[in-house]
Amino acid sequence: MSRSSSILLLLIILSVIAAPQAPTPSEAPAAVTFTLDFPASQPEHYSIRVPSDGASHYHSSGRLSADSEDTDSFDLDFALLPETRQKIFALAAKADYFQKDVDSRHKSLAFTGKKTLAYKDAERSGETTYNYSNNSGVQELTALMQNLSTTLEFGHRLQYDLHYQKLALDEELKRMDDLARSHELIELTAIRPILDQLIADPGVINVTRARAQRLLEGAAH
């Protein structure tokens, strides 16, 4: 082989080594996904995807209000606190990664929405759909995901109110305060940007700004 050919071959090898390598399946993060479809509720549909690396995503859609025909779609990327993320994956493990049917199939139970839990990593995957489950891991995870959706939807409404109806902000924050006291709101840090924006807006009355500030301070403890 000529000297020039050897140099060219060496350059090709070095460029291949230096090129970004696509993650192998074993490196892809595990993910837990929760989906709820319930036409009688607001939102009518939502999904929460929580990867093990923490880069979570929320999507919802439905009517703007019970008496409105206008629909709205909402998407939010957010980061969960590590302890919440760890709890989600621990509960997925407790529920055997949703590889079995978990629906109780009790005919007398009221319909509270079609719920789906899914898990996927490099080694296993599972998915189960249910109305109500007797599995304690599924019950706890369902409550956690529903509380998380409630929190994120408050952020969605606060964003709307801040732009279009500032006088409605205080009533929303009162409701948030009540739910926070009963531990039905979680991960308030996920909607911190809108709360900070509200607190900094001089067009929002002081009592409302103070209420938002107290919510954030409570979330830090």
Read off the pLDDT of residues 17-39 as tens digits, 9 standing for 90 and up.
444 454 444 567 999 999 999 99
78-106: pLDDT as tens digits: 999 999 999 999 999 999 999 999 999 98
Residue 153 lies in a domain: yes
Name the pLDDT band for 66 (thresholds 50, 70, 90): low
Residue 23 lies in a domain: no
Residue 104 lies in a domain: yes
pLDDT of residue 221: 63
Residue 9 lies in a domain: no
The proportion of the chain whose per-residue pLDDT surpasses 90, expressed as a percent, equals 76
Report which of 171, 37, 196, 54 is spatially closest to residue 115, judged by C-alpha positions. Answer: 37
pLDDT of residue 6: 52
Q: Which residues of 176-188 are buried (b: 16+ CB within 10 A; e: fewer)?
A: beebbeeeebbbb
Residues 6+ apart with CB under 8 A from 26: 122
How many CA atoms within 13 Å lie on the side-chain side of 189? 9
Residue 13 lies in a domain: no
Residue 25 lies in a domain: no
Q: What is the pTM of this model?
A: 0.85
In the chain, the number of structural domains is 1
**DSSP bridge partners of 48:** 34, 58
Written as one letter, the residue type at 4 is S
Residue 20 lies in a domain: no
Range of the domain at 173: 30-219
Q: State how far the Cα of 208 lies from the Cα of 144, in Å rounded to an integer.
A: 27
Report which of 28, 68, 22 is spatially closest to residue 44, judged by C-alpha positions. Answer: 68
Q: State how far the Cα of 175 lies from the Cα of 163, in Å rounded to an integer.
A: 19
**Contact yes or no for 60/38 (Cβ under 8 A):** no
pLDDT of residue 2: 53
Q: What is the largest CA-CA distance in the chain?
A: 83
How many CA atoms within 13 Å lie on the side-chain side of 111? 9
pLDDT of residue 144: 98
Residue 139 lies in a domain: yes
The pair of three-digit structure tokens given for residue 131, joined into one six-digit string: 């109305």
- Distance from chain centroid for Cα 141: 12
